[in-house]
């Protein structure tokens, strides 16, 4: 992934196209051994790629429609996602990175490099992808922008809106001398698996699977050669590309943060709509435990989405946000790939592209009504699970009916509803083109009362709180899924059904308390469940609590707290702020106001310090520095961010205790804790500074504690009405 990008088309691009054409025609260089079974001169003739008219302007493209945002669970998309297997990811990665031979042209071949100008190796790599798409029936084509390193394109033609096209892309080439596992075999494999699975289905829109070459080019500074050629080509034809989904280095996750960056242009509704689809897919299809989507609306003028932005198309770049230190080195290998993280990315990317393409209904249907066994009344909101080659789920409507599109197969159908025993019908057959009806009847189960009190763990004071109730295998519906305590007494009471394992999540209405979670399990009789909530000793904002000893700073206003000093080392006004000027919101793990050094807001050139007041730690034998943090790297920056400690106030000298370079992604929420005992304990003139020296895009800090500090209740008498928010009593 080249880091130096040009915003204007290099003359080298056009030169490369014309040279390539001449060499091929002269017989000096030969194209790949495979030939397009359906030749298209426009895809093989280099001069036709640019499609420049007589005035030098590009032919305008058809305005792209915005993608469809998924609002509901789609069982077909769920079926596709369920077919992604980590073992397949590993096999394809191993073959593309040369760890195991691949079968190419019917013979084993080890892909030693995928560098665009490597000759035979890159020709073999693109042939491998061509044959893969060919075996899936995707009518693959080569696009020869360079003789031995063509782009490879496969297609599923849409059934309803074939002129609307969704592109799922990633570059297959790598840097010479590197296996290119993360950059960018990870994305190429994601495109391969998307093709594997989506080729079994039909879609309203046309889907093209594109593997580009020429992204890792030499010399640096040129545009992405392969994708630039293709973007110019489709734009010249006036094609309606409604969405470009580009993947770049999606397999590295060293610290387990699970963050997945989705890069868009700021304020571009089309880009943001595609990003929203990705976020919705992660949340709707149960991937939120494996991925944390983060939208970066700052744009990126490199990688294979950028040429399409230049042509006016909507698109995003999906990219791992951890900053892989092995990129462009010999250590970018399979050993440094987080396979679970990559597999989750493949699932989310497949779901995103499938949703954008709009799956067509399946070849058969299953329908039926779920009823109460005793009363025969239809049950609304019952969960119907169909298990066959994959598992699909539907909810019954107000009339108790459900309907699912299914491929021909034999299924087991299970209905579950809150307050009822589940029921299963096995051996349900789905026939091509026909609708099968399968009703189910559920027997009710007994109800029992669960009650108790929610109190402060230290003082025993009653707390106003919300208790959210979750169930397995069935989620309790309203009003069973939530209950509020009486704010004056802390008492609550609710009625729950048997045959469900419950989990209670308790949140105090007043800020400053830590939430509590308890697995209550199945309820078989009336029972008591009391909760004692602990205060958040880091923030120490619970009503009636104060911090004693050391220094605790929650940054509770939009200006510098008393005793804190902001230093402007460059004299340009680019300094620590407390009013979130961008704004970005508090992503540190704290809440409300916070401190932020935001070089992206200012336009870079930022060197500023945030210094604490002097802290007296003379009486202490231990000392700790804690703070919430949200640190965002800058992709190519050279600065740093540091925390330093002085025992001589602002005069120093300063001892560094925490450091991150500009390429370190340490996205919040994070709680950083540093033992400063050897430096600060026993000293009475301790000062801490947060030094941001062009250290990234921004750095947010909250809840700084220099101590030890103690968060304790004041010895005063409070009435519940004086410090609790009142909520309705159920």
Q: List, as one string, the DSSP characters of 97-148.
A: TTSS-EEETTEEE------TT-SHHHHHHHHHHHHHHHHTT---EEE-SSTT
What is d(CA 495, CA 499) in angstroms, rounded to the nearest whole number?
Answer: 13
Q: Which pLDDT does position 34 carry in this prediction?
A: 29
For residue 597, whether the previous peptide bond is cis, meaning omega lies within 30 degrees of 0, is no
Q: Please check whether the domain covering 11-357 is classified as CATH 3.40.630.10.
A: yes
Lookup: tokens for 104: 């190419």
Tell which CATH architecture fits domain 364-442: Sandwich (2.60)
For residue 345, CA distances in Å to 76, 304, 586 come to 18, 18, 26
Closest CA to 634 of 700, 582, 577, 695: 695
**DSSP 3-state assignment of 72?**
coil
What is d(CA 226, CA 543) in angstroms, rounded to the nearest whole number?
Answer: 61
Closest CA to 188 of 244, 142, 126: 126
Cα angle: 242, vertex 243, 244; to 5 degrees: 140
Cα angle: 266, vertex 272, 274; to 5 degrees: 145
**Which H helix or E strand runs over 691?**
strand 687-693
Confirm if 459 and 440 have CB atoms less than 8 A apart. no
Closest CA to 503 of 494, 493, 516: 516
**Angle between helices 339-357 and 186-198 in degrees, nearest 10:** 50
Cα angle: 229, vertex 231, 234; to 5 degrees: 105
Q: Which pLDDT does position 46 carry in this prediction?
A: 25
DSSP annotation of 336 reads G
Cα angle: 468, vertex 471, 475; to 5 degrees: 90
Q: How far apart are the first and last CA of the chain?
A: 57
Q: Which pLDDT does position 636 carry in this prediction?
A: 54
Q: Which pLDDT does position 255 carry in this prediction?
A: 58
Closest CA to 467 of 530, 537, 381, 544: 530
Write down the domain spans for the chain.
11-357, 364-442, 447-533, 545-712
Rg (CA), the chain: 30
Q: Which pLDDT does position 24 carry in this prediction?
A: 32
Q: Which pLDDT does position 213 carry in this prediction?
A: 94
What is d(CA 702, CA 629) in angstroms, rounded to the nearest whole number?
Answer: 7
Tell which CATH architecture fits domain 447-533: Sandwich (2.60)
Closest CA to 75 of 310, 553, 307, 404: 404
What is d(CA 450, CA 484) in angstroms, rounded to the nearest whole number?
Answer: 13
Distance of CA 263 to the CA centre of its chain: 11
Lookup: tokens for 396: 């019954």
Say whether 545-712 and 364-442 share the same fold: no
What is d(CA 172, CA 125) in angstroms, rounded to the nearest whole number?
Answer: 8
Give 673: exposed, middle or buried? Use CB within 10 Å, 0-12, 13-18, 19+: exposed
Indicate the CATH number of 545-712 among 3.30.70.260, 2.60.120.200, 2.60.200.30, 3.40.50.720.
2.60.120.200
Q: What is the mean pLDDT of each run of 10 residues along the chain (730 residues)?
A: 34 36 32 31 25 27 44 83 94 96 94 93 96 93 90 92 95 92 95 94 93 76 79 94 95 76 91 93 91 86 90 93 83 91 95 93 82 96 85 86 85 94 94 87 96 96 96 86 96 94 96 95 96 88 82 93 96 96 90 93 90 92 90 72 96 94 76 93 95 87 87 55 33
pTM above 0.85, yes or no: no
């Amino acid at each position: 992934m080249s880091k130096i990008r040009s915003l204007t088309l290099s003359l080298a691009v056009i030169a490369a196209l014309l040279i390539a054409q001449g060499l091929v025609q002269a017989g000096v260089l030969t194209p790949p051994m495979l030939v397009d079974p359906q030749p298209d001169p426009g895809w093989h003739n280099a001069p036709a790629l640019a499609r420049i008219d007589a005035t030098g302007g590009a032919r305008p493209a058809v305005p792209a429609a915005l993608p469809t945002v998924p609002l509901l669970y789609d069982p077909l998309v769920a079926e596709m996602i369920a077919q992604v297997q980590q073992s397949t990811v590993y096999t394809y990665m191993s073959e593309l990175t040369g760890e195991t031979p691949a079968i190419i042209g019917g013979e084993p071949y080890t892909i030693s490099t995928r560098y665009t100008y490597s000759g035979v190796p890159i020709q073999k790599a693109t042939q491998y992808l061509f044959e893969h798409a060919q075996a899936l029936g995707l009518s693959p084509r080569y696009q020869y922008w360079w003789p031995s390193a063509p782009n490879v394109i496969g297609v599923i033609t849409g059934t309803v809106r074939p002129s609307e096209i969704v592109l799922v892309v990633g570059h297959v080439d790598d840097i010479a001398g590197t296996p290119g596992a993360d950059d960018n075999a990870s994305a190429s494999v994601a495109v391969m698996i998307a093709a594997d699975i989506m080729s079994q289905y039909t879609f309203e829109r046309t889907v093209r699977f594109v593997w580009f070459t020429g992204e890792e080019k030499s010399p640096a500074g040129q545009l992405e050669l392969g994708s630039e050629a293709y973007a110019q080509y489709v734009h010249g034809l006036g094609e309606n590309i409604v969405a470009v989904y580009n993947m770049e280095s999606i397999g590295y996750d060293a610290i387990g943060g699970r963050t997945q960056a989705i890069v868009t242009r700021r304020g571009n509704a089309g880009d943001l709509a595609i990003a929203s689809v990705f976020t919705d897919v992660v949340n709707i299809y149960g991937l939120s435990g494996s991925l944390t989507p983060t939208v970066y609306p700052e744009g990126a003028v490199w990688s294979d989405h950028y040429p399409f932005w230049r042509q006016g198309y909507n698109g995003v770049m999906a990219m791992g946000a951890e900053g892989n230190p092995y990129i462009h080195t010999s250590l970018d290998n399979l050993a440094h790939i987080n396979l679970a993280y990559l597999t989750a990315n493949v699932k989310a990317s497949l779901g995103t592209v499938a949703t954008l393409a709009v799956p067509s209904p399946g070849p058969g249907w299953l329908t039926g009504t779920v009823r109460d066994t005793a009363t025969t009344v239809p049950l609304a909101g019952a969960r119907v699970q169909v298990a066959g080659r994959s598992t699909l789920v539907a909810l019954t409507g107000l009339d108790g009916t459900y309907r699912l599109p299914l491929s021909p197969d034999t299924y087991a159908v299970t209905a579950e509803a809150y307050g009822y025993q589940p029921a299963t019908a096995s051996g349900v057959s789905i026939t091509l083109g026909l609708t099968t009806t399968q009703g189910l009847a559920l027997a009710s189960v007994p109800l029992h009362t669960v009650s108790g009190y929610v109190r402060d763990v230290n003082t025993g004071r009653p707390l106003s709180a919300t208790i959210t109730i979750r169930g397995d295998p069935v989620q309790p519906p309203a009003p069973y899924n939530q209950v509020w305590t009486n704010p004056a007494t802390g008492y609550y009471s609710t009625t729950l059904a048997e045959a469900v394992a419950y989990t209670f999540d308790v949140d105090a209405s007043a800020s400053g308390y830590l939430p509590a979670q308890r697995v209550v399990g199945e309820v078989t009789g009336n029972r008591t469940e009391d909760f004692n909530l602990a205060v958040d000793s880091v923030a120490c904002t619970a009503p009636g609590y104060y911090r004693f000893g050391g220094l605790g700073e929650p940054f509770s206003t939009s200006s510098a707290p008393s005793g804190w000093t902001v230093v402007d080392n460059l004299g340009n006004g680019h300094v620590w702020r407390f009013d979130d000027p961008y704004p970005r919101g508090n992503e540190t793990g704290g809440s409300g106001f916070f401190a932020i050094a935001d070089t992206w807001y200012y336009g870079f050139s930022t060197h500023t310090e945030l210094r604490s007041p002097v802290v007296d730690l003379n009486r202490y034998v231990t000392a700790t520095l804690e703070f919430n943090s949200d640190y965002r790297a800058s992709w190519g920056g050279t600065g740093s961010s540091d925390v330093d400690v002085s025992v001589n106030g602002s005069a120093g000298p300063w001892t560094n205790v925490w450091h991150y370079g500009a390429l370190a992604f340490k996205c919040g929420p994070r709680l950083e804790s540093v033992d400063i005992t050897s430096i600060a304990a026993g000293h009475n003139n301790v000062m801490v500074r947060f030094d941001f020296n062009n250290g990234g895009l921004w750095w947010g800090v909250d809840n700084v504690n220099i101590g030890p500090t103690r968060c304790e209740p004041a010895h005063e008498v409070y009435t519940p009405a004086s410090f609790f928010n009142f909520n309705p009593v159920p």
